[in-house]
Structure 1
Amino acid sequence: MLAVFLTPAYLPFAIAFVVMIGIGLIEAIGLGFGHLDVGADGIEGHDGVLDWLGLSGELPILIWLISLLGCFTLVGVALQQGASALTGAPLGWPLAAVGALIAGGALNTVVANGLARIMPGFETSVISTDDLLRRRGTILEGAARRGVPARAKVVDEHGQAHIVMVEPHDDRTVIKAGERALLVRREGKLFFVLPEDDRLLQSI
């Protein structure tokens, strides 16, 4: 069977199987789960597509990818075995790969949704953009003014640093490089902040 698996007709499925094993080994070593934040900017509004792909739940993206590669490999091998049994020869690898991708993608939707239901307790250090609100950041360069945002570094609850663009919440406030400020609201990718010496923050 191994010799057959290495023939050109089975090549896409052999490659997918090797990639699947490689990703699985990386995860087993403990390098962490890849996770897709489906609530992030740019993905909202595509819930129908995400549902069809099996990506609308809390399933880590690398687990979803392993599942997809597994389904692609299984369907592809089954397709080639069936073709060989019926016609005496497997399909050409491009045709088999396209068929396996379509059928395997459909199968993966079921598998991914099932995996998401049995992994409700999965925890990830990936956070949504709104989780940075009410955290303090440090202006990195220049000065933040209304209409002139500046880059700031914000450290989340997991100790990971994020670079965001900020403007002062108040029109006449200027926050210089090296100063700290509290992120109080967000509009798109832009955060509005209060400087740390603001009287409203003295009791916080």
Structure 2
Amino acid sequence: MLQLLLASENLLFSVALLLMLLIGLLELIAVLFGSSFSSSLESLLPEVEIAPHTEVGQLDADSALSRFFGWLRIGEVPLLMLLVLMLLSFGLLGLILQSLLLSMLGFMAPAWLATPVVLFASLPMVRFSGGILHRLMPRDETTAVTSDSLLGRIAIITLGTARQSYAAEARVKDQHGYQHYIQVEPDNPEECFVQGTEVLLLTRQGAVYKAIKNANPHLSEAE
């Protein structure tokens, strides 16, 4: 088993599993000290801004990227959990594939070939396991606040570009200070919101919130 883990063909898969264990250890240590590694990691992530004169082609690319991240359950499940799921799926699938090849054919696939194949195969597993976690996780937004209670609050676009019929991910805090990740579209069809834009939530249609750009400098996400 050790030879399989340390083989050059499996180095990336072994490192992925090692990183997964390291993240779990850091989260455990953070919890023992009354903190959260996942929250600290999220606070360190920079807000990526897109220039206001972004062209239509770039908007389409941003929307496609936003839909892909939504497919991966980003916004439904904490990012750190999805990272752990990705590392676990990538590492286990890679080792299982190489072990099967070794036992059936007598050799393992080179890393340059196995890595992209396993990475692609890991994505559906991340989506599936992320969906299970999403159903099992306790939801502050359903027990502490209602979806409509977020109306009138300031949100920040965090992923993608919001425009008519193309929602983007936004972060909003409820009255208790808990963060929620929601889908936002501009209320005005002629507007678009790039990453980093502060918006005021006006109405909700299903899971999508309609918003306008925050024009009041005295209002902020913390309000």
TM-score bracket, shorter-length normalisation: 0.5 to 0.7
Matched residue of 1:103: which SS? helix
Match of 2:23 in 1: 23
Percent identity of equivalent pairs: 25
Q: Deviations over 1:149-192 (max 9, x none)?
A: xxxxxxx9649xxxxxxxxxxxxxxxxxxxxxxx9x9854x541
Match of 1:120 in 2: 138
Distance 1:65 1:19 in 2: 10
Does 2:73 correspond to 1:50?
Answer: no
Residue 63 (structure 1) shift: 0.6
Distance 1:50 1:100 in 2: 19
Distance 1:69 1:193 in 2: 41
TM-score (norm 2): 0.52
- Contact 1:47/1:56 (<8 A) preserved: no
Q: 2:123 aligns with which of 105, 110, 121?
A: 105
Matched residue of 2:74: which SS? coil
| Matched letter for residue 113 of structure 1 | G
Unmatched tracts of structure 2, length 5 or more:
44-48, 51-61, 142-149, 156-174, 179-199, 203-210
Does 2:101 correspond to 1:83?
Answer: yes
- The 10-residue stretch of structure 1 (112-121 or 27-36) with the greater mean CA deviation from structure 2: 27-36
Q: Deviations over 1:4-43 (max 9, x none)?
A: 201101100111011111111111122423469xxxx988
Does 2:85 correspond to 1:67?
Answer: yes
Distance 2:96 2:106 in 1: 14
Distance 1:76 1:108 in 2: 14
Residue 51 (structure 1) shift: 3.5
Distance 1:95 1:109 in 2: 23
Match of 2:170 in 1: none
Q: Deviations over 1:97-152 (max 9, x none)?
A: 111101111211101111111003268xxxx9x7448xxxxxxxxxxxxxxxxxxx
Q: Deviations over 1:59-86 (max 9, x none)?
A: 1100110011000011101110111122
The answer to which structure has the higher helix fraction is 2
* Greater RCO, CA 8 A, separation 6+: 2
Matched residue of 2:216: which SS? strand
Distance 1:83 1:19 in 2: 25
- The number of residues matched between the two structures is 141
Distance 2:82 2:71 in 1: 13
Change in 2 beyond 3 A, CA 1:122/1:67? farther
Change in 2 beyond 3 A, CA 1:12/1:121? same
TM-score (norm 1): 0.56
